[in-house]
Amino acid sequence: MSTDVKRLTAVLAALLLTALTTTAARAADGGTPSAGQRIASSLRGSPVYVDEAYADAVPPSRQRELAQQIRRTGLPIKVVLTPLTKGDAFDGDSGVLAGTVRDRLPDQRELILITTDGDFPDSLTGEEWPADTHQTRDAVSAAGFLDETRDAGLADLTAKAVELVAEGKGTQRYEEAVKDLGDDTRRREEQAEERAESASGGPVWWLLVGVPVLALTALATRTAVRSRKPAPAVPQLVFATARAADEAELRRRAEAEVLALGEATRAADVSTTRGLQHALDAYAAAGTVLDEARGLPDLAGVLALVQEGRDALAGDDDTALPRCFFNPLHGRAALRTGWRPLGRRDRLDVAVCQECADALRDRRAPEVLTDTDEDGRTVPYFELPAERSAWAATGYGSLTATLAGINSRRIRAR
């Protein structure tokens, strides 16, 4: 009898241990234990896995075409198209997705994986094991930068990525695509320099900064009209900015905006204004930046902070878009988009006005706000090192959730 009890206890203990081990293993792969396994199992049957969320974009007929295209390459390519969001089984990270799927395919020593990119919806990223022999990473990145895929759907984009991986010249293709974008930027800069040289009098740096601002007149007007949700005080300011086109005038307007925000916060109902503290923080930061402002980039920062404060008062601080990343003097952004800085492989998620979005789509360089680097050269403000410019670090609210917490000592390292 006691032997039976012991045996039973041993069996129960073993069962408990198994259960604990299984739970631990599940917890270790991040919340939804079945997601990676489900994808891997599916990939054993077909090299193309498409989550039902993308079933319209890549219907079964296109999936079969892609699978045939992949088989013809003779390469160990697998495609995983699944939405990625923070907090999901892969925490919205394409790297975690790729690693998980690969772990579930242990017999697949060589693997080329093309997946959705966690940072930018409807874009792709590629990874290859054991080494990047087919230049997969660059090939898949290049696919999204070609004229022919500008308006392509996910199915066509995937087909192009497979084609470029099979071609095996991904790095060259990527560099060509980036160079096309770069040529456009350089042409603009040369034109700006010619204009500056032909003008007489006045410091050259001012012309470099001032000319693009003058060119904004029509653009800012249109942007203000087309912006998704203009804050009450912004449109007049945009018009005023475009008319004045000089730093002193912009400073005066920024001062007026800061004062108006201060009045609005004082008038706000403490009990019902959820974002009041955020608005007060933004107001305080705007005042500090204004006091220390040395030029257009800082004054643009004041406008960005005022906008943020007004959004907080209106209760829109979680949803409203910041000002245009490329030039905050364009006004409030109309949409968010992925943008890859020249010479960099990773893309940034930035908020842009409609004009800048159109420029990106047409492979034109957007009109950017410039700043001076430590050698006195005029460069796009976002090209300054983040430790030297708070605006490069934050993208005026595109790269950070809020500006209100900005540390005044970090506005600009001097």
Give contact residues for Zn ion (rule: CB under 5 A).
Answer: 324, 326, 330, 353, 356
Shortest CB 213 distance to Zn ion, Å: 12
d(CA 411, CA 175): 34
Measured from the CB atom, is 114 or 353 closer to Zn ion? 353
In the complex, the smallest distance separating the C-beta of residue 45 from Zn ion, rounded to whole angstroms, is 46
Q: Which DSSP helix (H) or strand (E) runs through 367? A: none
Q: Residue 356 Cβ, how far from Zn ion at the closest point, in Å?
A: 3
Sheet of 77-81: strand order equals: 48-50, 77-81, 111-116, 124-129
The nearer residue to Zn ion, 111 or 392, going by C-beta atoms, is 392
Nearest CB to Zn ion, comparing residues 212 and 287: 212
Q: What are phi and psi of 86, to 5 degrees?
A: -55, 135
Strands (E), 215-339: 335-339
Residue 40 CA, distance from chain mean position: 29
Minimum CB separation of residue 221 from Zn ion in Å reads 13
Beta bridge partners of 389: 412
Question: Which sign does the torsion angle of CA 274, 277, 280, 282 carry?
Answer: negative
Which one, 81 or 353, has the nearer CB to Zn ion? 353
Q: Is 174 in contact with 142 (CB distance < 8 Å)?
A: yes
Q: Which is nearer to Zn ion, 47 or 210 (CB)?
A: 210
Q: Rank residues 30 and 341 by Cβ distance to Zn ion and give the closer one.
A: 341
CA separation for the pair 26, 317 (Å, rounded): 37
Q: Which is nearer to Zn ion, 330 or 347 (CB)?
A: 330
For residue 124, give the 3-state DSSP assignment. strand
All residues at 6 or more sequence positions from 382 whose CB lies less than 8 Å from its CB, including other chains = 325, 341, 368, 391, 392, 395
Beta bridge partners of 48: 79
d(CA 200, CA 223): 32
Query: Closest distance between Zn ion and the C-beta of residue 35, in Å?
Result: 38
- Work out how close the CB of 353 gets to Zn ion at its nearest, in angstroms, rounded to a whole number: 3
Output the smallest distance, CB 235 to Zn ion, in A. 15
Nearest to Zn ion of 323, 347 (CB atom): 323
Cβ at position 326, least distance to Zn ion in Å: 5
Closest of 92, 29, 84, 90 to residue 51, by C-alpha: 84
Q: Given the complex with Zn ion, which of 35 and 324 has the nearer CB atom? A: 324
Q: Are the beta carbons of 167 and 143 closer than 8 angstroms?
A: no
Output the smallest distance, CB 351 to Zn ion, in A: 9
Using N-to-C axis directions, what is the helix angle for 234-244 and 296-314, rounded to 10°? 170
Which CA distances in Å does 364 have to 20, 100, 334? 57, 38, 18
